[in-house]
Structure 1
Amino acid sequence: MSVQNVLNKIAENNIQFVDFRFVDLAGRAHHITLPSTEVDAETFVNGVAFDGSSIEGFRGIEQSDMVMMPDTESVFIDPFTDHPTLNVMCNIHTPDGERYDRDPRSIAQKAEELLQKSGVGTSAFFAPESEFFIFDDVRYESGMNKSYYEVDSEEAAWNTGRKEEGGNLGFKVGVKGGYVPVAPTDTQQDIRSEMVRVMQEAGLRVERHHHEVATAGQAEINFRFSTLTKTADNLMLYKYIVHNVARQYGKVATFMPKPLFGDNGSGMHVHMSIFNGDEPLFYDKGAYANLSPLAMNYIGGILYHAPALIALTNPSTNSFKRLVPGYEAPVNLVFSKGNRSAAVRIPIAAVTPKGCRIEFRTPDSTANPYLSFAAMLLAGLDGIKRKIDPTALGYGPFDTNIYELSDEEKKEIRSVPGTLDEALDALEADYEFLTEGGVFTADFIENYVAIKRNEAKAVATRIHPHEYSLYFGC
């Protein structure tokens, strides 16, 4: 969309405000709003200034001036503001006009540029399945003398005896009993449908929605695949709509990977493929799962670099509460067709040549989508460049339920890192694939690791409530 088309959209829709947005290292959006009367063609040339020193991981106060450069291809009308508002995603530039090398969105774009320069293909397509919970109430506190959390849901298994409903209406969702039931067990059909309606109005192509496995309101909405940066933009829009529609219904949505003990967590399974023009490069009819040698090398790169990759795709301490056996979590660094216990699954049901893809099941939605998608692409490209054979390295295929293998059979299967610190150790030891073509910089990695180490330390040094159960009577 040209600048003039954006200005026309502002005029035609009586837009009163234009909201300029960027994304920080953690994957959270920030915004500055201008009256539409202050927005003209020069705004899209000169950008919008902001204070980078107030954003964690960006710049010190002595170099705080930064600029948001609007991307005219990313505009949408905000569905939640009382005053007509047009939202625009932005890249971050330095005052001298250079792309800021810690800007997640610019990193995603540089990864796409590297793909095109590599000669492998022209486009990488991504489709995340970002699961979430819808709760009725959430409370938490962490202080010197107390620490607790409590969430509640009218659907929850623990509420079969609750009286506050004015007479318990039953039909609660059992632990691991929430996969696609109909009403009245599924109480959230309408709120998910409203989320879909708003997404469609905002420009997302939504394919389906349903209740997910866990009790207490776990949900999934799937939107159509697109190119790397566009999909990351779409995921930011998706999360924005989920959070705000939930709020309109008097509920709260969270993409936290493991908000409940003892039931399935929320993942972000990411489907990927590479095309050269209109030609799909992952398809080879008759081969294992109809995958081409190039696709197998891509899988090899993902699994070879997975321990380091997970520092970007699962970048929270809570991520590793989900990555434990027994809750459909893909903790095994292997590949398989149709097998959801593997880190990399190749979908085989109703797949066409253009729909042939791989699914990396380990990530979750605490990941910054721009950084994590870029890192996945770079790991896959490194596998293609080095012709990494996942079978030769013992990554599979494993077409049995890995959770049911004996301990002896599991010995040769690599597992994901057990903690955020372990993943960060792996990233520090293996990040050259990320700096290929200058997509990520060593400075970015060092800065990112330092921030995440602080998060891990903040959790590790605090007293956990369960420690009182274990140790208070010693």
Structure 2
Amino acid sequence: MDLKSVLSLVEVENVEYVDFRIVDLLGRQHHVTIPAYAVDEDTFTNGVAFDGSSLIGYKGIEESDMVALPDPSSAFLDPFVEAKTLNIVCNIYNPDGTPYARDPRGIALKAEAYLEQLGIATSAYFGPESEFFLFDHVRYASGPTGSFFHIDSEEAYWNTGKEGKNLGYKVANKGGYFPVQPTDSQADIRNEMCSLLTQAGLKVERHHHEVATAGQGEINFRFDTLTRTADNLLLFKYIVRNVAAKHGKTATFMPKPIVGDNGSGMHVHQSLFQGDTPLFYEKGGYANLSEMALHYIGGILYHAPALIALTNPSTNSFKRLVPGYEAPVNLVFSKGNRSAAVRIPVAAVTPKASRIEFRTPDSTANPYLAFAAMLMAGLDGIKRKLDPRELGYGPLDKNIYDLSPAEKTDIKSAPGSLSEALTALENDSDFLLEGDVFIREVIDAWIERKRSEIQQVERTVNPKEYELYYDL
């Protein structure tokens, strides 16, 4: 959709408000709403002013004036606001008209421009599988006199003995893949989410209940170019959360909200194209992959410890990244093997669908930064011809979790904590700086923020510590 189409839509649909959206360093969206009668071509040329000092990772109060410049191609009608509202994603600019170097969306756009500049491909396509939970109730608190969290779901296995009206049909621990109704109690809600996603312009491919109990679900939407997919992922989370709220439920994309059951990941499918020609396919190669694809994998796995600081950027991420829960902590690649960090899908794959799947990430990532970083790692692998076979990253076509300790000796592992991942990023970030895609200031700000989060978690007294140590 171009500018003229947007202004025409406002008129034809009798839009009352236009909602302009930006994203902070961590990946949370923010918005400012303007009456439609005050929005014209000048709004798209001059942008919307806002205070950058009030957003995480932006500017200090002494230089806080910033401009949100709307991207008309991102416009969609908001299905949740009573007054008809058009939502538009914006890029961030300085008052002098230059792009703001810390803008996450701007970084994603620079990564795509760098790809074309190298002449390796014209497009990078990304397709995330973002899992989530729908709970009926959530309470949490953290303070000097106590800390706790409590969640509940009508379909959770722990409610089999719940008093009052109880119809059974609970989802067993790790038993949620993928039963029919009435055990799957949320099919209608996911249908509604899919309908609204389609209305907003996303191409939904399928949805289903996921492995965990207590309302874990997954909705897959069609891949797109890097920045557009990041836009779509934020739109996806917006629609999932608001439909859940409409039904009296709450949605979370936390990687590990339940102890002892599967967590929520965000497997990211990736491929490169030259025009309409897929560059990752070569008939007869390993899993029908081209040498370029293998080098891309080499870059992903070589830089994985640093990447994980951006793709799994929460302390909670590392409660999911443990062996035994289909969490890919092993830095190897394999065809059709879900225990590997990089999986090569082989079922019903055409040349144009030839792709690699990085299974480690989760949805606490800022998608603009995470996708841009993955592309930069893959491009570094292509430029340096990093062969994952020579570097000891496989292929390993076995269930890695069933290997003996001796067989696992040479398998490299993902960092065991956010702190380890941040240290890896400190030591390996030059590949992100190529083409001025990322700047050192952004990486330093990210590391500083995340170390602050680690410190907050480590200094908070945990209820488990009372269980372990109170009577010693």
Q: Which residue identity does 1:451 align to in structure 2?
A: R
Partner of residue 418, structure 1: 416
1:155 aligns to what? 155
Which residue in the other structure is 2:38 paired with? 38
Instruction: Tell me, in whole angstroms, the C-alpha distance in 2 between the residues paired with 1:456 and 1:315.
Output: 10
Q: How does 1:166-185 map to 2 (within 5 A)?
A: 166=165, 168-185=166-183
**Correspondent of 1:331 among 307, 329, 332:** 329
Structure 2 distance, partners of 1:119, 1:220, is 36
- Equivalence for 1:198: 196
Q: Find the aligned partners of 1:220 and 1:5 in 2 and give their Cα distance.
A: 33
Structure 2 equivalent of residue 86 of structure 1? 86
Q: Hey, what does 2:10 align to over in structure 1?
A: 10
Q: Deviations over 1:403-449 (max 9, x none)?
A: 00111111111111111111000000000000000000011111110
Q: Give per-residue Cα distances to partners, 1:16-43, cap 9 Å, x unaligned.
A: 0000000111111000000001101000
Equivalent position to 2:230, from 229, 232, 235: 232
Q: Structure 2 CA distance, aligned partners of 1:460 and 1:336?
A: 36
Distance in 2 between residues matched to 1:2 and 1:187, nearest whole Å: 41
Is 1:440 matched up with 2:438?
A: yes
Aligned mates of 2:312, 2:22 — CA distance in 1: 21
Letter in 1 for 2:121: G
Q: Which residue matches 2:351?
A: 353
Q: 1:230 is matched by which residue type in structure 2?
A: R
Tell me, in whole angstroms, the C-alpha distance in 2 between the residues paired with 1:312 and 1:396.
24
2:457 partner amino acid: V
Q: Which amino acid aligns with 1:225?
A: F
Helix, strand or coil at the partner of 2:353? coil
Secondary structure (helix, strand or coil) at the match of 1:298 reads: helix
For 1:410, what is the secondary structure of its paired residue?
coil
What amino acid is the match of 2:239?
I
1:53-72 maps to which residues of 2 (within 5 A)? 53-72=53-72
Superposition deviation, residue 346 in structure 1: 0.1
Kindly tell me the number of residue pairs found equivalent between the two proteins: 472
Counterpart for residue 275 of structure 1: 273
Correspondence for 1:135:
135
Q: Quick one: which amino acid aligns to residue 459 of structure 2?
A: T
Aligned 1:355-394 pairs, distance under 5 A: 355-394=353-392
| Runs of at least 5 residues in structure 2 that lack an aligned partner in the other structure | none
2:186 & 2:436 partners in 1: Cα distance? 45
Aligned equivalents of 1:373 and 1:311: distance in 2? Answer: 13
CA–CA distance in structure 2, aligned partners of residues 51 and 447 of structure 1 = 19
For residue 317 of structure 1, report the CA deviation from its aligned partner. Answer: 0.4
CA distance in 1, matches of 2:7, 2:58: 31
1:289-342, CA deviations, whole angstroms, 9 ceiling, x for partnerless residues? Answer: 000000000000000000000000000000000000111100100000000000
Alignment match, 2:455: 457
The residue identity in structure 2 corresponding to 1:298 is Y
- C-alpha distance in structure 2 between counterparts of 1:191 and 1:11, whole Å: 32
Q: CA deviation at 1:202?
A: 1.0
Q: Counterparts of 1:275-314 in structure 2 under 5 Å?
A: 275-314=273-312
Instruction: For 1:82, give the aligned amino acid.
Output: E
Among 218, 221, 246, which residue is 1:220 paired with? Answer: 218
Q: Following TM superposition, by how much is the alpha carbon of 1:2 offset from its aligned partner in structure 2, in angstroms?
A: 2.5
| 3-state DSSP of counterpart to 2:20 | strand
Query: Aligned partners of 1:377 and 1:2: how far apart in 2?
Result: 27
Give the unaligned 5+ runs of structure 1. Answer: none
In structure 1, C-alpha distance between the alignment counterparts of 2:416 and 2:34, rounded to whole Å: 45
**AA at the equivalent of 1:458:** Q
Cα distance in 2 between the residues matched to 1:188 and 1:444: 40
CA distance in 2, matches of 1:456, 1:289: 40
CA distance in 1, matches of 2:449, 2:167: 46
Out of 296, 313, 316, the residue aligned to residue 314 of structure 2 is 316
Aligned residue identity for 1:324: V
Tell me, what secondary structure is at the counterpart of 1:336? strand
Deviations 1:175-195 (A, max 9, x none): 110001001110001000000
Which residue of structure 2 lines up, in the alignment, with residue 48 of structure 1? 48
> Following the alignment from structure 2 to structure 1, what is the Cα–Cα distance between the partners of residues 172 and 27?
32
The 3-state SS of whatever aligns with 2:378 is: helix
Q: Name the structure 2 match of 1:245.
A: 243
- What is the alpha-carbon distance in structure 1 between the residues aligned to residue 79 and residue 420 of structure 2? 41
Q: Give, in whole Å, the separation in 2 of the partners of 1:151 and 1:68.
A: 38
For the pair 1:112 / 2:107, whether they are aligned, the reply is: no
Query: Which secondary structure state, in structure 2, belongs to the residue aligned with residue 433 of structure 1?
Result: helix
Counterpart CA distance in 2 for 1:148 and 1:245 is: 27
Aligned to 2:186: 188
CA distance in 1, matches of 2:119, 2:258: 45
RMSD: 0.5
Q: CA deviation at 1:145?
A: 1.5
Q: Which amino acid aligns with 1:234?
A: N
Give the match's secondary structure for 1:261: coil
TM-aligned CA deviation for residue 163 of structure 1? 1.1
Q: TM-score, normalised by structure 2?
A: 1.00
Shift of 1:5: 1.5
CA distance in 1, matches of 2:458, 2:412: 25
Corresponding residue SS for 2:42: helix
Note the C-alpha offset of 1:3: 1.5
What is the rounded CA distance, in whole Å, between the counterparts of 2:432 and 2:395 in structure 1? 26
Of 340-349 and 459-468, deviating more is: 459-468
| Counterpart Cα distance in 2 of 1:18 and 1:438 | 33
1:398 alignment partner AA? L
- Matching residue's letter, 2:168: G
